[in-house]
């Protein structure tokens, strides 16, 4: 809900700034950029979080392999 409100406000600011120059194309472009920028920012945050989660998973897989190797060595010594 907050992201929608921020998008609308940023779009309005973009339209206002573009309208000050009196060029319709500039007003529409800045309004569109202002409207989409909060959503793009949030998508970037989600992407960064997913990348960090993937690296954490890779580290856990490495630790799991090391643990399995140690367990196999212990099993061989017991037998």
Q: Is the pTM of this model over 0.95?
A: no
pLDDT in tens, 2-56: 777 778 788 888 888 888 877 788 788 888 888 888 888 888 888 888 888 888 8
pLDDT over 80 at 66, yes or no: yes
Domains in the chain: boundaries: 2-78
Q: For residue 1, what pLDDT band results from cuts at 50, 70 and 90?
A: low
Cβ atoms of residues 19 and 27 within 8 Å: yes
């Amino acid at each position: 809900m907050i992201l929608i409100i921020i998008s609308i406000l940023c779009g309005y600011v973009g339209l206002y700034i573009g309208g000050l120059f009196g060029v319709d194309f500039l007003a529409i472009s800045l309004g569109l950029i202002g409207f989409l920028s909060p959503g793009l920012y949030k998508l970037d945050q989600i992407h960064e979080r997913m990348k960090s989660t993937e690296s954490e998973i890779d580290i856990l897989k490495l630790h799991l392999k090391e643990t399995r190797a140690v367990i196999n060595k212990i099993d061989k010594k017991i037998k």
